């Protein structure tokens, strides 16, 4: 295990990366808000396997929190995070202060449209599109500060990953965006820093989110339509006493509503409040044989 270099300013970061970049080494970025768990560590491992230099950002981004959300109590433990990152071979931890990222007078934002940020978590009645405006702005700033060759994001935040991919494409960031599979507890619960909010009783109920998604998958495999899959998922949540904030089936490439399993990957996504924890999860239902035409070609 090597101890990462902890840097606080863009100037320090650029100075540290300049000789590595001149030497032609590849740079990987793992953006995080800290309080690392196995999901984050899987991103760091993926970066370590692909890149010569691994940079992890450690910044609780205030602009992606709505008023009344958990910004102030979001779990933080920098010393633990740096130690865990070091165990995975991380070279640099970039942990700036808020005013380093958003200096006085900051007034510029990055917004992604195209129907990607005003649905699911971005629906105005939920976290709202301003949540993703905060995400895309801070990630764009990290891309500019680090100038990575590859950036790594988790599938658990599927909508966020899709939004970042669109931003990188539209703004010509020369960065490969890699999405790493969701890491789960043995009972299926997707790992999340917010799982720390769950009481023991709530922790027992929370895996119902994943069971609901698997019920949706099973219904699709039986030949059901997306509405049938969502109904099957809803029954599992009802049995656990969980009311979803949303439970939807959308095409995984553009988040338009999926009315059928027609040869395109379908994202089944849900969010639910379990006690004090707002949990999200999803599965992507890839096309299977039942989605093909009689001539063997995919439908759609």
Alpha-carbon separation of residue 265 from 66, 254, 256, 257 (angstroms): 31, 10, 12, 12
Q: Do 149 and 266 belong to one domain? A: no
- Yes or no: say if 264 and 300 are a contact pair by the CB < 8 Å rule: yes
pLDDT at 300: 35
Helix (H) or strand (E) holding 279: strand 277-285
Mean pLDDT of the chain: 95
pLDDT at 68: 86
Q: Is the pLDDT at 288 greater than 90, yes or no?
A: no
End-of-domain residue from the set 149, 180, 211: 180
Strand 92-94 to strand 176-180: parallel, antiparallel, or no bridges (unpaired)?
unpaired
Digit-coded pLDDT (tens) for 263-275: 999 999 999 999 9
Considering the domain boundaries, does residue 217 fall inside one? yes
pLDDT at 198: 97
The structure tokens listed for 38 are 């196995």
Q: Is the pLDDT at 167 greater than 70, yes or no?
A: yes
Q: Is the pLDDT at 120 greater than 80, yes or no?
A: yes
Digit-coded pLDDT (tens) for 33-70: 999 999 999 999 999 999 999 999 999 999 999 988 99
Q: Do 216 and 84 belong to one domain? A: no
Catalytic residues: 40
pLDDT at 2: 78
pLDDT at 295: 38
Q: Is the pLDDT at 296 greater than 70, yes or no?
A: no
Which range, 67-76, 152-161, 285-294, has the best average confidence (pLDDT)?
152-161
Domain ranges, residue 253: 193-291
Mean pLDDT confidence for 113-141 = 97
Which residues, including other chains, have CB under 8 Å from residue 180's CB and lie 6 or more apart?
Answer: 42, 43, 46, 152, 153, 154, 155
- CATH number of the domain where residue 82 is located: 3.40.50.620
Q: Do 11 and 149 belong to one domain? A: yes
pLDDT at 289: 60
Q: Is the pLDDT at 1 greater than 80, yes or no?
A: no
Digit-coded pLDDT (tens) for 181-225: 999 999 999 999 999 999 999 999 999 999 999 999 999 999 999
Considering the domain boundaries, does residue 207 fall inside one? yes
Q: Is the pLDDT at 294 greater than 60, yes or no?
A: no
Q: Do 91 and 211 belong to one domain? A: no
End-of-domain residue from the set 145, 180, 215: 180
Q: How many domains does the chain have?
A: 2
Cα–Cα distance between 159 and 139 in angstroms, integer?
14
Helix (H) or strand (E) holding 53: strand 53-58
Q: Do 175 and 31 belong to one domain? A: yes
Considering the domain boundaries, does residue 226 fall inside one? yes
Considering the domain boundaries, does residue 158 fall inside one? yes
Considering the domain boundaries, does residue 66 fall inside one? yes
- Yes or no: say if 64 and 134 are a contact pair by the CB < 8 Å rule: yes
Q: Do 221 and 260 belong to one domain? A: yes
Considering the domain boundaries, does residue 128 fall inside one? yes
Q: Do 127 and 198 belong to one domain? A: no
Q: Do 173 and 211 belong to one domain? A: no
Considering the domain boundaries, does residue 296 fall inside one? no
Q: Do 175 and 208 belong to one domain? A: no
Q: Do 160 and 20 belong to one domain? A: yes
Residue 23: how many CA atoms within 13 Å on its side-chain side?
10
Digit-coded pLDDT (tens) for 62-107: 999 998 899 999 999 999 999 999 999 999 999 999 999 999 999 9
Q: Is the pLDDT at 293 greater than 70, yes or no?
A: no
Q: Chain centroid to CA 96: how far?
A: 21
End-of-domain residue from the set 152, 180, 208: 180
Q: Do 128 and 211 belong to one domain? A: no
- CATH number of the domain where residue 270 is located: 3.30.1300.10
Considering the domain boundaries, does residue 187 fall inside one? no
Q: Do 141 and 32 belong to one domain? A: yes
């Amino acid at each position: 295990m090597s101890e990462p270099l902890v840097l606080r300013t863009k100037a320090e970061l650029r100075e540290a990366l300049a000789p590595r970049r001149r030497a032609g080494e590849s740079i990987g970025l793992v953006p995080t808000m800290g309080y690392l768990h196995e999901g984050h560590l899987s991103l760091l491992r993926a970066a370590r396997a692909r890149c010569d230099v691994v940079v992890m950002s450690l910044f609780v981004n205030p602009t992606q929190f709505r008023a009344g959300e958990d910004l102030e109590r979001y779990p933080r433990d920098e010393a633990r995070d740096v130690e865990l990152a070091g165990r995975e071979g991380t070279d640099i931890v970039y942990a700036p202060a808020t005013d380093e990222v958003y200096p006085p007078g900051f007034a510029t934002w990055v917004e992604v449209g195209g129907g990607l940020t005003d649905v699911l978590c971005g629906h105005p009645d939920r976290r709202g599109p301003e949540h993703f405006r905060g995400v895309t702005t801070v990630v764009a700033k990290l891309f500019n500060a680090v100038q990575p060759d590859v950036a790594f994001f988790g599938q658990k935040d599927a909508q966020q990953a899709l939004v970042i991919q669109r931003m990188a494409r539209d703004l010509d960031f020369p960065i490969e965006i890699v999405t790493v599979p969701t890491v789960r507890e043995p009972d299926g619960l997707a790992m999340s820093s917010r799982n720390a909010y769950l009481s023991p009783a709530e922790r027992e109920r929370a895996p119902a989110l994943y069971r609901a998604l698997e019920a949706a998958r099973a219904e699709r495999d039986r030949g059901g339509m997306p509405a049938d899959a969502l109904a099957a998922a809803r029954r599992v949540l009802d049995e656990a006493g969980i009311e979803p904030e949303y439970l939807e089936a959308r095409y995984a490439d553009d988040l338009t509503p999926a009315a059928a399993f027609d040869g395109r990957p379908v994202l089944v996504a849900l969010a639910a409040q379990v006690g004090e924890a707002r949990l999200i999860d999803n599965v992507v239902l890839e096309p299977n044989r039942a989605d093909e035409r009689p001539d063997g070609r995919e439908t759609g």
